[in-house]
Chain A
Amino acid sequence: MFDLFATLPDTAMLSRMQFAFTISYHIIFPTITIGLSLYLAFMEGMWLKTKNLAYLQQVKFWMKPFAITFGMGVVSGVVLSYEFGTNFSKFSEIVGPVLSPLLAYEVLTAFFLEAGFLGIMLFGWNRVTPKVHFAATCIVALGTVSSSFWILAANSWMHTPAGYEIVNGQFQVTSWLEVIFNPSFPYRLAHMLLATFLSASLLFAGVNAYYLLKGTHKEFAKIGFSTAMFAILILAPVQILVGDFHGLNVAHHQPVKLAAMEGIWKTEKGAALRLFAIPDQENETNHFELSIPKAASFLITHDVDGEIAGLDQVEEKDRPQVAVVFTAFRIMLGLGGLMLLLGVAGAVARYKKRLFDFKPLLYLSVVMIPAGVIATLAGWYVVEVGRQPWLVQGLVRTADVVSPLPAETVAFTLGLFVIVYTSLFFTYIYFIRKLVLKGPPSLDEVQASLMNPALEDNDDLPATLNPAQVDIGYGQELSEYLQSKDKQGKDKQPQDKGEK
């Protein structure tokens, strides 16, 4: 036991590992829910507009995975809002005056909004009018986007700090506009939002492709698959373009990170683009390098002989772990390329009228379900590990601002998080799989869900919400139909056992 403690990494490393682990875990869920909430709002809007039950069926089906994913995001997110203080207490103390208001605005304009309307969105189907329900769905979607706005402003500031001064060792703000709209923020926000849309689209496409392959729920799957493939076709190239702009922004503001991403150790002109390599931090070189001559210089400086500053521009102690940054960057790029391929393949199949039965496309879609989330995580590793050893680029070193906790304590909590999160993750996958296998409710069931089940026990509802007394927007005919249906259906108890 004591041997184990003797080999324990120091508190700074353990706190970094814990934060990295908990935030990586958390980001999986918002990545899915931000895009998914927009899909839900879109489909519900289409349902209200066309009154085509097929759209409502989409909403009813996807709401369940959305709810679970959102719940996972909420519970893992609360941890993060406290971890700044628990594990990086000195950081909170000196940088708090700049970052804390951004987090406060996130709570005020996103967390409360999402939480407040999520209840109505999930459980309020029979308690509010369709328009109010649609508004709730839209507000939840707005909340998720607003949340990313603030959190990415805070994160971007740590990469490209602006609008601050340092007074007695504490950061103070000189301009809030400069803090929020710091130089890397617009690129990072656009890149992340597109990543969430792509991730949700891939999930959408994959699940529906699975149904198409199995030959079940075909009509349902066609709507979702078609929408998702169309979205991927647009989003993938736009994302690659935005990513390129983001990369140029990194080259300008964080040249060391760029050198690590490209695996360039020595400053050189006409630098080659390394497609594959195993970076060796100690000997400051790459092994098994496979590269295209001059391509990196061309991509970054738009000149084949342009100069790119290598990792040797700073001392050894100021460099990130190159292998992590370099590899994660390539994983992200590779997956991005595959997404583009999927989008184009979908367009070709659509043109040939084979969109719903071209098997290689459907298989590829299923395989690529997690691609968006993995690419997003890889991208975050590039940015975050690439900024090390700094917590605030060039100003605050990670190792200097951790809480003075015993290493054993942090090792214990890290272990706890690993165990709890891993088991929760498998539980999450299990339930998502269960929902997918169960499939969407049939159109009849969707129709029946419009027949307000609360009619069975009208006493439960306040008079103003009682559909037997007020028309809640489905039209007079429907109300009458509901009442006649109610009389017939009294003895047929619904199969409702309180399932959400």
Chain B
Amino acid sequence: MDIALVYLLLIGFGVLVYVLLDGFSLGVGILSPLLKNSDNKAIAMKSLSHIWDSNQTWLVFGGVVLFVAFPVVYSFVLSNLYLPIILMLVALIFRGIAFEFRFKSDRSQGFWDLSFAFGSIIATFCQGIILGALVGDMSSTKTLADPVDWLTPFSITTGFALLSGYGLLGACWLVRKTEASLQVVAKKLAQKLLFIMLAFFAVVSIWMLIDQPAVAERWLNFPGSLALLPLPLLSLFFAYRLWFILRERTEPGLKPLAYAMGLFATAFGGLVAGIFPYIIPGRLTIWEAIAPDKTVYFTLVGILIFIPVVIAYNIYAYRTFSGKTSMKDGY
């Protein structure tokens, strides 16, 4: 198989896993100001304290695999989107450090709640801006020398879209990990966010179809685009199932999170399908950007050996803390 394609799949996999896992972690942060009382905020945060670090590691993984396989792209994207990336990293610091200090503080808990919330919100918004800047940039033909215009109406829209999407994932995580009144709150939030997110995703999709001929060409070109039809159909199915399960009074367990993740995954697939085979939309394809053979094969060996192991022990770690969050696990 084509090595550039293999790496595109690997990076796609890494980014998707990051978005799904840190998505719900950041989502809990985004929603935490809405949880009002301090005990609820504490439980929400506690439900993540053993896994946020693992989830965030996928971001480092995605970045480093991009660095390995497409060094030109890594350099281009990071230096062109300098400010949103640095701001995202600083926001992630505030998010991460809140976990450490929140439960060791007596008087400053309120501050760490804010640090958690704002860190999550800003990090997510920056990620949305980065996504929007890269995707929205496709509309005109440019070269690698032209700078990326990252603050546009489109990128701001994707920023809000990601906020609502992560928020939905976060709410579904809370449905899984909490009980009683907090779970009811989480369910209600999830229902609202489902609609907001669907609205945003629809706007972004239509915007791309109108604004970007290449995307429209791929999606609206019958009968070729019929092959892509399962993606939006699956999205609708997941959204429909999610809506019903959130309205039931029984304990839904992991199902809402699973459907929300499915919704995200299909949207992500749709996005990638519109861009392929570009790695920097409109500027550079994966085959133009791939690193030398020695580099990519050496790393591929490591990825193929270690990623299954990583997934196995991450599943083990999740299972160790399965069930509702207890404030009693500590050190």
Residues of A near any B CB (own CB < 8 A): 60, 63-64, 67-68, 71-72, 74-76, 78-79, 81-82, 84-87, 89-90, 92-93, 96-98, 100-101, 103-105, 107-109, 111-128, 167, 170, 172-174, 176, 403-405, 409, 413, 416-417, 420, 424, 427, 431, 434-435, 453-454, 456-457, 460-462, 465, 496-500
Contact B74 A96 (CB under 8 A): yes
Question: Is B101 on the interface with A (CB-CB < 8 A)?
Answer: yes
Contact A85 B93 (CB under 8 A): no
List 23 A-B pairs, Cβ < 8 Å: A75-B97, A82-B85, A85-B67, A85-B74, A87-B79, A92-B74, A92-B78, A93-B72, A97-B292, A100-B64, A104-B65, A104-B303, A114-B53, A117-B313, A117-B317, A119-B54, A124-B320, A127-B321, A176-B298, A409-B82, A413-B82, A454-B329, A496-B328
A128 to B313, CA, bound (A): 14
Question: Is B288 on the interface with A (CB-CB < 8 A)?
Answer: no
Question: Is B6 on the interface with A (CB-CB < 8 A)?
Answer: no
Q: Which residues of B contact A174 (CB under 8 A)?
A: 294
A63 to B104, CA, bound (A): 13
Contact B54 A116 (CB under 8 A): yes
Contact B67 A112 (CB under 8 A): no
CB contact between A119 and one of B78, B86, B317 (< 8 Å): that residue: B317
Question: Beta-carbon contacts of B279-299 to A below 8 Å, as 1s and 0s?
Answer: 000000000000110110011
CB contact between A172 and one of B294, B313, B321 (< 8 Å): that residue: B294
How many residues of chain B have a CB within 8 Å of chain A? Answer: 67
A427 to B112, CA, bound (A): 11
Contact B292 A170 (CB under 8 A): yes
Question: How distant is B113 from chain A, measured CB to nearest CB, in Å?
Answer: 13
CB contact between A82 and one of B89, B292, B299 (< 8 Å): that residue: B89
Knowing A71-B100, A111-B57, A111-B60 are in contact, say whether A100-B321 is a contact too (CB < 8 A). no
Question: How distant is A296 from chain B, measured CB to nearest CB, in Å?
Answer: 41
Question: Beta-carbon contacts of B48-80 to A below 8 Å, as 1s and 0s?
Answer: 011101101101110111011001101111110
Question: How distant is A340 from chain B, measured CB to nearest CB, in Å?
Answer: 34
Contact A78 B79 (CB under 8 A): no
Q: Closest A-chain residue to B89, C-beta based? A: A79
CB contact between A78 and one of B82, B89, B314, B330 (< 8 Å): that residue: B89
CB contact between A86 and one of B59, B82, B303 (< 8 Å): that residue: B82
Q: Closest B-chain residue to A68, C-beta based? A: B100
A84 to B77, CA, bound (A): 12
Q: Closest A-chain residue to B327, C-beta based? A: A498
Contact B63 A115 (CB under 8 A): no
Question: Is B307 on the interface with A (CB-CB < 8 A)?
Answer: yes
Question: Is B331 on the interface with A (CB-CB < 8 A)?
Answer: yes
Contact B320 A120 (CB under 8 A): yes
Q: Which residues of A contact B313 (CB under 8 A)?
A: 113, 116-117
A126 to B60, CA, bound (A): 30
Question: How distant is A387 from chain B, measured CB to nearest CB, in Å?
Answer: 22
Contact A81 B60 (CB under 8 A): yes
Contact A462 B329 (CB under 8 A): no
Question: Beta-carbon contacts of B97-127 to A below 8 Å, as 1s and 0s?
Answer: 1011101110000000000000000000000
Contact B298 A101 (CB under 8 A): yes
A105 to B301, CA, bound (A): 10
A473 to B275, CA, bound (A): 54
CB contact between B103 and one of A82, A404, A498 (< 8 Å): that residue: A498
Knowing A115-B54, A172-B292 are in contact, say whether A498-B60 is a contact too (CB < 8 A). no
CB contact between B302 and one of A104, A121, A462 (< 8 Å): that residue: A104
18 other A-B residue contacts (CB within 8 Å) besides A86-B78, A98-B295, A109-B306: A60-B331, A85-B74, A87-B79, A89-B79, A93-B71, A100-B74, A101-B295, A101-B298, A105-B302, A107-B61, A108-B302, A116-B313, A120-B317, A123-B50, A123-B330, A174-B294, A497-B327, A500-B330
Q: Closest A-chain residue to B46, C-beta based? A: A498
Contact A413 B83 (CB under 8 A): yes
Knowing A416-B86, A431-B104 are in contact, say whether A499-B330 is a contact too (CB < 8 A). yes
Question: Is B42 on the interface with A (CB-CB < 8 A)?
Answer: yes
Contact B89 A427 (CB under 8 A): no
A63 to B53, CA, bound (A): 17
A79 to B56, CA, bound (A): 12
Q: Which residues of B contact A460 (CB under 8 A)?
A: 323-324, 326, 328
Contact A78 B60 (CB under 8 A): yes
A112 to B302, CA, bound (A): 13
Question: How distant is A22 from chain B, measured CB to nearest CB, in Å?
Answer: 10
Question: Is B5 on the interface with A (CB-CB < 8 A)?
Answer: no
Q: Which residues of B contact A499 (CB under 8 A)?
A: 103-104, 330
Knowing A124-B329, A172-B294, A460-B324 are in contact, say whether A84-B97 is a contact too (CB < 8 A). no
CB contact between A122 and one of B83, B97, B328, B331 (< 8 Å): that residue: B331
Q: Which residues of B contact A465 (CB under 8 A)?
A: 320
CB-based A-B contact count at 8 angstroms: 248
Q: Which residues of B contact A115 (CB under 8 A)?
A: 53-54, 56-57
A92 to B77, CA, bound (A): 12
Q: Which residues of A contact B306 (CB under 8 A)?
A: 108-109, 112
Contact A97 B101 (CB under 8 A): no
Q: Which residues of B contact A172 (CB under 8 A)?
A: 292, 294-295
Q: Which residues of B contact A431 (CB under 8 A)?
A: 100-101, 104-105
Question: How distant is A407 from chain B, measured CB to nearest CB, in Å?
Answer: 12
Contact A498 B76 (CB under 8 A): no
Question: Is B270 on the interface with A (CB-CB < 8 A)?
Answer: no
Contact A100 B68 (CB under 8 A): yes
Contact B96 A500 (CB under 8 A): no
Contact B64 A107 (CB under 8 A): yes
Question: Is B172 on the interface with A (CB-CB < 8 A)?
Answer: no
CB contact between B79 and one of A74, A111, A173, A404 (< 8 Å): that residue: A404
A417 to B87, CA, bound (A): 10
A468 to B155, CA, bound (A): 54
Knowing A103-B67, A435-B104 are in contact, say whether A74-B53 is a contact too (CB < 8 A). yes
Contact A96 B104 (CB under 8 A): no
Question: Is B37 on the interface with A (CB-CB < 8 A)?
Answer: no
Knowing A119-B53, A123-B321, A461-B323 are in contact, say whether A416-B85 is a contact too (CB < 8 A). no
Question: Is B310 on the interface with A (CB-CB < 8 A)?
Answer: yes
A63 to B306, CA, bound (A): 28
Question: Is B233 on the interface with A (CB-CB < 8 A)?
Answer: no
CB contact between A116 and one of B67, B77, B317 (< 8 Å): that residue: B317
Q: Which residues of A contact B56 (CB under 8 A)?
A: 74, 78, 115
Knowing A71-B97, A105-B302, A498-B42 are in contact, say whether A403-B323 is a contact too (CB < 8 A). no
Question: How distant is A178 from chain B, measured CB to nearest CB, in Å?
Answer: 12
Q: Which residues of B contact A500 (CB under 8 A)?
A: 49, 103-104, 330-331
A72 to B96, CA, bound (A): 8
Contact B331 A96 (CB under 8 A): no
Question: How distant is B59 from chain A, measured CB to nearest CB, in Å?
Answer: 7
Question: How distant is A263 from chain B, measured CB to nearest CB, in Å?
Answer: 37
Contact A462 B72 (CB under 8 A): no
A121 to B53, CA, bound (A): 13
Question: How distant is A58 from chain B, measured CB to nearest CB, in Å?
Answer: 13
Contact B104 A434 (CB under 8 A): yes
Q: Which residues of A contact B54 (CB under 8 A)?
A: 112, 115-116, 119
A497 to B109, CA, bound (A): 13
Contact B96 A74 (CB under 8 A): yes
A75 to B326, CA, bound (A): 25
